[in-house]
Amino acid sequence: MLFNSPVFIALFLPLAWCGYRLCALLGTQIAKIWLIIASLCFYAWWNTSFTTLLCGSILFNYFIGLLIIRLQSYRFWQSFVLISGVTLNLLVLCFYKYLFSILQALRGAGLDVPFIIPDVAFFLGIPFVTLLHFPLRIADITLPLGISFFTFTQIGYLVDCKGNAVKDKQFPDYALFVTFFPHLIAGPILYHREMIPQFTNPATYRFNFDNVVLGLAIFLLGLAKKVVIADYFAVIANTTFSHVDHLSLLQAWSGTLSFTLQIYFDFSGYSEMAMGLALLFNLRFPANFDSPFKSTSIIEFWQRWHMTLTRYLTNYLYNPMALWIRRRRVARGKNISHHALTTVEGFGALVAFPTIITMMLAGIWHGAGLQYLVFGTLHGLYLTINHAWRIFRSKTARKAPHAIVQRFKTAGNIILTITAVIVANVFFRAVSVNDSLLILHSMLGMNELYGYNAFDAPPGLIEQWLVQDNRIHYIHNPYLSPAEIANIFSIVLTFLFIWTMPNILQIFSPYTPSLSIAQTPPSAFLRKCPSFILGIIIGLIAILGILNLTNNFIPFIYFKF
């Protein structure tokens, strides 16, 4: 079920919310159970068979967690159980996410590789009917919705169990922590320690009108971002990325920028909808999105984009890896002080290596394609260069320039950061590395500057051409078409909107809608803006969001991860 579908908004959400309020009157445990059932129904709506997988995963991790806590005084066995639990979680994730891509690639290379055992496949939720059609095709394997998110959430829980950070061991709390529908499919990735205190607090189950209004406002703002802006750019981006073989410079940039804006508003919209939904149930999520296109460096970008994934990777991947490297260096008698970072060897070992490896893994977390590895590696390199710049640049360059120069410098930094992100996004969106290179080729102006406008053909005409001789005819148009002008105009306008408008965390900062606060405090203008006027503006945007509900029906980008 999608957050932007009529069935979710008109049926599921009102039912889940009203049921929750009624159950909360009867008792907190009943309310929790209601929310768990509602969340499982939400998940089962997409595919009932995978609900077994989700429930199995929850039970497995809950008992592994209990075992880890029990083995507190047996460090070896505790580590053994933790490693086994994490490995099993990762194996299931890899099974769905990577195994079939790898097998298919191997078969493509002419190797005779075996397929899975049917019983295992059935247990894990692959519809039985597909097993009758051997050899199994990659198209038959459906990625369980949100598997990356609920697996990561639970691995984090297991690690926290070992770190003695888990106090509450009640199963309903744990089950609700994993299944709570606003974050189940696409995050944010939550920590046990930030949600359980809320679940156990009786105040959570009391009716709070302010939170309901706030939640509704944030949810509808997120909806408007998704259905009005993201879905508009999705159409342009989809057209561009499905015709990569012959793009003009203008089309390539227009398509890539459109995708960049699509994913920006798609993810921003999703994160806000999730935050708003949690607030409707009197719960607060950590912030997941904080105007990343206002970042002046790629390091800052990752502190503002998919923030819960960044902190997860930092805490559970980068930090352990960096710690391991430091210990090894200490064991070998090497320097690990700040001075060591200023040497190329020290920087390479202590910063570049863990950064690049972390980002490469973050890249392939998105999918099995090589393009995701390139995406992650690029971001790893960007971060490394950014860190190197901070460490190695001359002292004179660190001096604060004149205010006007500083403004230009900030603008330049923002543009440089966004350009780097855009280039990486080409790999993120394209279906292969080859397609990505073709687009980058066009973006560098290796084809025409502008003028090929097969996409602007009247609807249905391209299909007719395809029917006629199975290929698209490109029409040379020496002028910019109205559609191209409209694209440029909308892209410029949207970037101006991003750079000038406050985000949800800033707008609602007096009401603390999230567990985190905005990195940039709200402007004086926003602080002085009357709440009533703000309410009217957001009310109007909310109407726009609801009215566009059935517009295109494009799923959230992060739903497929």
Partner 1 sequence: MTQSYETVPKMQRFSIGFLGTFIIGFGAVWIWVASNFIVFMDRGYAMWAAKMQIAHNCTMGRLAILGDSRPMADIIPPLVGAGVVNLAFGGVTAVENYIFAKQILNCSNLPKAVILSLTPVSFKKIGKLVDQAAYNGLLTFSDLEDIRNHTREMNYGPYDLDFKQDIELRVKEVGYATRFPPYYFSQVKDAFISPHAWENKEVFDYTSKMYGWFWDFMPGNPFGHSHAEETGWDDFTPFPFSDYYLHQLLALFESKHIPVYFVAMPYNEDSFQIMKPEFIEAYTAYINSVVKQYPGTHILGPLFSSIPWDKCYDSYHLNPQGARMYSERLRQLLNSSHVEGGPYIADPEAIGNVNW
The residues annotated with a catalytic role in the active site are 366
Segment near partner 1 (CB under 8 A); pick from 23-31, 155-163, 184-192, 207-215: 207-215
Binding mask 426-465 for partner 1 (x = CB under 8 A): ----------------------------------------
Nearest approach, Cβ of residue 20 and partner 1 (Å): 18
Q: Whole-number minimum distance, CB 171 to partner 1, in Å?
A: 27
Q: Is 291 in the site for partner 1 (CB under 8 A)?
A: no
Q: CB of residue 222 vs partner 1: minimum separation in angstroms?
A: 15
Closer CB to partner 1, residue 15 or residue 475? 15
Please measure the distance between the N-terminal and C-terminal CA atoms of the chain and give it in whole angstroms: 15
Stretch that binds partner 1, among 211-219, 419-427, 486-494, 553-561 (CB under 8 A): 211-219
The strand pairing partners of 305, in sequence order, are 289
Nearest to residue 95, comparing CAs of 136, 38, 65? 136
Rg (CA), the chain: 25
Binding segment (CB under 8 A) for partner 1, from list 90-98, 172-180, 294-302, 505-513: 505-513
Q: How far is the CB of 540 from partner 1 (least distance, A)?
A: 6
Q: Indicate left, alpha or beta for 290 from its phi (over 0: left) and psi (-120 to 50: alpha).
A: beta
- The smaller minimum CB distance to partner 1, of residues 284 and 379, is found at 284
> Which residue lies nearer to partner 1 by CB, 432 or 551?
551
Stretch that binds partner 1, among 4-12, 58-66, 143-151, 475-483 (CB under 8 A): 4-12
Task: Count other Cβ atoms within 10 Å, centred on residue 540.
Answer: 11
C-alpha pair distances (Å), 163 with each of 75, 157, 159, 178, 484: 11, 10, 6, 19, 55
Within positions 508 to 547, which residues make up the interface with partner 1, using CB under 8 A? 510-512, 530-536, 538-540, 542-543, 546-547
For partner 1, the closer of residues 84 and 552 by Cβ is 552
387-426 positions binding partner 1, by CB under 8 A: none
Say if residue 134 is exposed, middle or buried (CB neighbours under 10 Å; 0-12, 13-18, 19+): exposed
Task: Give the x/- contact pattern for partner 1 in 248-287, rule: CB under 8 A.
Answer: ------------------------------------x---
Closest separation in Å from C-beta 22 to partner 1? 21
Instruction: Return d(Cα 301, Cα 323) in angstroms, integer.
Output: 24
Taking the C-alpha atoms of residue 157 and residue 61, their distance in angstroms, rounded to an integer, is 8
Rounded Cα distance between 292 and 414, Å, is 10
Distance CA 142, CA 457 (A): 35
Report whether 299 contacts 383 (CB < 8 A): yes
Q: How many residues bind partner 1 (CB under 8 A)?
A: 37
Stretch of 23-31, 295-303, 325-333, 506-514 lying at the interface with partner 1 (CB under 8 A) = 506-514
Q: Which of 43, 45, 86, 95 is nearest to 64 (CA)?
A: 86
Burial class (CB in 10 A: 0-12, 13-18, 19+), 273: buried
Can the peptide bond before residue 135 be classed as cis, meaning omega within 30 degrees of 0?
A: yes
Q: Which is nearer to partner 1, 211 or 260 (CB)?
A: 211
Tokens representing 251 are 């089309």
Strand partners, 476: 452
User: Quick one: 22 or 536, whose CB is closer to partner 1?
Assistant: 536
Quote the CA–CA distance of 3 and 21 in Å, as a whole number: 20
- Considering the complex, what minimum distance in angstroms separates the CB of residue 118 from partner 1? 24
Min. distance of Cβ 543 from partner 1 in angstroms? 5
Query: Using CB under 8 A, which of 67, 69, 99, 213 touches partner 1?
Result: 213
Among all chains, which residue has been given the structure tokens 């191997």? 106
Q: Phi and psi dihedrals of 513, rounded to 5?
A: -75, -15
Q: Which stretch binds partner 1 (CB under 8 A): 129-137, 159-167, 214-222, 517-525?
A: 214-222
- 210 lies in the site for partner 1, by CB under 8 A: yes
CB of 378 to partner 1, least distance (A): 38
Minimum CB distance to partner 1, residue 425 (Å): 28
Closer Cβ to partner 1, 44 or 364, answer by number: 44
According to CB under 8 A, which residues from 8 to 67 bind partner 1?
Answer: 10-11, 45
DSSP 11-47: IIHHHHHHHHHHHHHH-HHHHHHHHHHHHHHHHHTT-
Q: Which residues bind partner 1 (CB under 8 A)?
A: 5-7, 10-11, 45, 208-211, 213-214, 216-217, 220, 284, 510-512, 530-536, 538-540, 542-543, 546-551
